[in-house]
Structure formats: C-alpha cells, structure tokens
Chain A
Amino acid sequence: MSQHDATVPATNVLYYRHTLPVRIMHWISVIAFFLLLMSGLQIFNAYPALNWGKSSYTGHPPILEMGAKQTPQGNIIGVTTVFGHEFNTTGVLGWSRGADGQLTGRGFPAWMTLPATQWLAMARRWHFFLAWVLVINGTAYLLYTLFSHHLARDLAPTRRDWRSIGQSVKDHLLFRHPQGETARHYHILQKLTYLGVVFGLFPLIILMGWAMSPWLDSLIPGWVDIFGGRQSARTIHFVVAWVLVAFVFIHVIEVIITGFWNNLRSMITGRYRVTAAGPGHDHE
C-alpha cells in the first residue's frame, strides 16, 4: 500500500475514511447476510409459498407459490404463481436440478440454497447461528456509531443535505458522481439509503424473524398481529430479504462505477483517494 501511496500525484489525497471497527463489522455483515439469505431460501423451500394473515389456511390462496406440475404433453414444468398469475419458471423456480444434478421439485434451485441439498434441519442450524452473528454485529455497530459520533458526523443528514436532495437525485440519474472534496462526504441519497438499511430494513427483518417464533409470540400475545399475523410476518421477512438483495446489488454497482478499486481499498485498508483536480479525472 505504501508503495502505491508514494506514486500518487500531489493532487491526489488519501484520507482515512473507514475506521477499523466499521470495516470489520461491514465484512462480517456481508458474509452473514449472504449465508443467511441462502440458508433462508433452503428453509423457504420446505414450504415454498407465502400467505397473508394469521395462518396459511385462511381460505385465501397464497400470495406467491412455487411448484412443479405436469403439462398435457406429459412434461414436468416449474410454475411460480404470484397474485394468481402463473409463470413458467422451469429450471429455476419450482423445478430445477438438485445438488446431484437430477431434476427435482424444489422452490429455489440448489445453487442458491445452503445447504444445496434439501436439508431443512441443517439450514435452520446455519440460519439461527448466523442470525445471532448478525444481531450481535449489528448491536455492536449501533453502539459504535453512537459513541464514536460516526452517526452524527457521517450519516445524519444536515440541513444543507436536505436542501440538496433535488440536485442529488438529478445528478444520480445522470450518473454524475461527486468529485474532489465533495466526494469526501456521503451525499444525501447515500445517507438516507444507509440509514434506511441500518435503522429500517435490518431491524424489520429481525423483528419479522422473531414474529415467527412461537415462544416469542407469548412475550406479549398478539403483538404479531400488528404486522398482519404470523404468516404475514413470514411474507414480510421474505420480501425484506429481497429488498436487501436489491440494496446490495445497487450498492455494488455504485461501488464499481464510482471507482471499484478506490472504494474496495477504502473498505479494506480504510484509505480513500480524493482527486482535487476537476477535468481530466478518471477513476483510477
């Protein structure tokens, strides 16, 4: 790293962007999230349908359902039904190749699930272990952001941020990313997204996980009904997981187009390069 630093032109400034605890907690979340997602999809496969309400059998059909069925020609196809609309999803959802390469009826395909084979007990072990990792890591992060002033200094939107929201949206849609000194700080869209993920989506997905636990329901009987009931909580848990996947997808795209190496370095070593000069600038 130091060799590289020495060759940086005078206009480039490396500054310390991410502290060590933030970097460690970031990568723990990355690994835990992916393994939680994959073990969660294996758990979903045990009953590959989503319902709304207090139970799965309310007299209403599932919101989403995956399964295999036989066509009049005798072929077996994978079918996904969303709000009553049926889609052929052969090879991916409902009917795909298992870990042994054989076509088999299953919700999500083997390559997306942990373990790859149909093995609910093991998926549950992974899922609940990693849930603890995520909860402990998340709690540590919340305490850190508060006590290190990371929250107040870097994430809380300022009055100026709120005023710049229109411009920020416009810049973003035109793929104009902040350069120079302004790139040192998160812009309003980044701040709102990160706050929404940390204080909105993660707490919600954890709460909806708790709502599925019959023991925790007895804490205050009926609290689960605030979210529409136990099966609604399961549906919200599933939907939030995919919203988080969408966040990760956009996050990675942003990381790539705003300077993949610079961003990745800042998340590994902490150092982020800012180019002071305007024109003729490229990302790395």
Chain B
Amino acid sequence: MTTNKFNRRTFLLRAFTSGSLLLLAGCERLSRSEWFPKVLDSAEKLTQATQHLIAPRQAMAQEFTEADLSPQFRSNGTSNPENPQYQALAANSFADYRLQVGGLVARPTAFSLTGLRSLPSRTQITRHDCVEGWSAIGKWKGTPLSVVLARVQPKPEARYVVFYCADPMDGQGTRYYESIDMDDAHHPQTILAYELNDQPLPVANGAPVRVRIERQLGYKMAKYIMGIRLVDSFANIGGGKGGYWEDQGYEWYAGI
C-alpha cells in the first residue's frame, strides 16, 4: 500500500511538473499555429462589442488641463521619414503640401495646409496611450475629420477611412497606413491635428498633419498623413487587415 501510495504521489508530482512544462511548450506551439490565434482573436470581437455596448459611440475621451501636460511629447516609431518627397516638402515648411482626400466620395479634394487651417478647428488636451504601455498628455489643435468629410461628401457605400502616410516602414517601400470606421471618423474628438502644444506639429510627432482618435491606442493615430481614402473594404490594401501594425498581428480595434 505504501509503495503504491508513494508511486501515485511521485506520479502526481511528476505529472504536475511535466504538465506545467508541457502547458508552456504547448502555448508556444499554439501561438505559432494557423488556427489558435484565430481562437484568441474571438476575444477582440467580444471586447469591441462589449465596450461599444457600455460606452456609446459618441462618448468623449477624458480631456485634461495645462497642468497635466507632459513636459515633452515623446516621439515613437518614425521620427523623421526617410522619404525624399517628404524631405522636400519639409524643407519648404510644407508650403507645397496637399492632403489628397478621395475614394468613395462625391467630391475628391486636395487640401493645402493653409486650407486646413482656415476650416473650423478644435483644441483638446488628451492622453496618448501607447500599445507598449506608456502614456503622454499633449494639447492638440486641428480640423475635425467630420468637417473634411462634409466637404468631400462620402458616398453611402463608404465604410472606412484609410490614412496613407509618408513614412517608409521597410526597404521594400511599405508605407505606414491605418484605418477607422465611419463612427470614429465622425467622432467630435477625431481631428486632423496640425498643432501640438501651441506650436506647429513637429516632424518627430508627425508633421504636417496627424490624426487623433482619442479612444484608441497610439498606433491608430497615423503620423505624416499624405492622403485619405474612403473605402468599403480592406481586401486590396496592404496585408488586408486595415493597417500596418494590424498586418503584423495587432488588433484593428485598439480600444484596449
């Protein structure tokens, strides 16, 4: 009986240790499998549905006071696009910059920087949450995207707004891009920002124009925006997931 018990106990202990090791090795294999990440992804849809259920689409992100401003606003990712066309625009203080807005719209339009500045503007002090875990608070001024959309008149079949950027992400010429849905595009705090902390937007933070989508993570808020297109699907854009980082495995819905 004693031997029996001992064996059982030893077996159990070994089963426990090897069980936990197998669990972790298994987790590594699952991460690299074809099917398991899709199972994990189901949580993203559940999160999106739940968050939209409890916080309405028009709910406003928190706004702060000047006292909360971060001493300097950190630059992350690209800090100066290695792109000759962009460099030429920057050398001329973006006087020749034109924001091309097209796709599924009735009136495609090119906006100069002065043209954007002459449109109604919104100023907001908000917190930028990076997917990495850090936050910074900055004061942004820009044109609400809804104002720009009203000018170009989206067609009814337009479902997403895609931002095309100047910054190359690899040697193959892949440029940064991002997208949001029409609800986020029409949110009052979604602005095409051209000022940070009362100064023209610095190159390190996305000059001349970047987008602010305050209830999402930093990677949604594309810098160096050169063009905007309204589309009904991501199928023929980049890797088909709706954004540069999404194509690398990050969530398209970045509310968490």
Contact = CB atoms under 8 A, between A and B. Distances in A.
Interface string A36-48: 0010000110110
A58 B70 contact: yes
A216 to B, nearest CB: 6
A126 interface: yes
A126 B51 contact: no
Given A58-B70, A214-B215, A214-B256, 10 more contacts: A47-B130, A47-B132, A57-B137, A59-B71, A121-B250, A214-B217, A218-B214, A219-B59, A222-B62, A260-B9
B39 interface: yes
The number of chain B residues touching the other chain, given as a range, is 35 or more
A216 B135 contact: no
A191 B64 CA distance: 43
Contacts, number: 145
A214 B216 CA distance: 6
A115 B215 CA distance: 27
B46 A132 contact: yes
Interface string B27-56: 110010000010111111011000100110
A214 B129 contact: yes
Given A115-B28, A214-B215, A214-B216, A57 B72 contact: yes
Contacts of B63: 221
B132 A120 contact: yes
Contact of A55 (B24, B135, B249): B135
Residue among B31, B60, B68, B250 with most chain A CB within 10 A: B31
Given A54-B68, A55-B70, A218-B62, A46 B136 contact: no
The 5 closest A-B pairs by CB, nearest first: A215-B255, A57-B70, A47-B133, A121-B249, A221-B62
A212 B256 contact: yes
B28 A212 contact: no
A264 B31 CA distance: 31
A122 B191 CA distance: 30
A126 B40 contact: yes
Contacts of B5: 261, 284
Interface residues of A, number: 49
A73 interface: no
Contacts of A57: 70-74, 134-137
Contact of B133 (A43, A59, A114, A122): A43
A121 B248 contact: yes
A261 to B, nearest CB: 6
Contacts of B255: 213-216
Interface string B211-246: 000111100000000000000000000000000010
A215 B134 CA distance: 16
A54 B64 contact: yes
Interface string A100-130: 0000000000000011100111101110110
B126 to A, nearest CB: 9
Residue among B23, B37, B40 with most chain A CB within 10 A: B40
Contacts of B47: 128, 132
A114 B64 CA distance: 35
Nearest to A238: B133
B183 to A, nearest CB: 12
A114 B24 contact: yes
A205 interface: no
A221 B60 contact: yes
Given A125-B41, A221-B63, A46 B250 contact: no
A218 B132 contact: no
Interface in A200-224: 212-219, 221-222, 224
A231 interface: yes
Contacts of A224: 62
Given A57-B71, A215-B216, A218-B55, A231 B61 contact: no
B249 A122 contact: yes
Contacts of A213: 51, 255-256
8 contacts: A46-B131, A126-B27, A128-B40, A215-B215, A219-B54, A224-B62, A234-B133, A261-B5
B256 A216 contact: yes
Contact of B135 (A34, A125, A132, A231): A231
A47 B134 contact: yes
Contacts of B28: 114-116
A132 to B, nearest CB: 5
A211 to B, nearest CB: 11
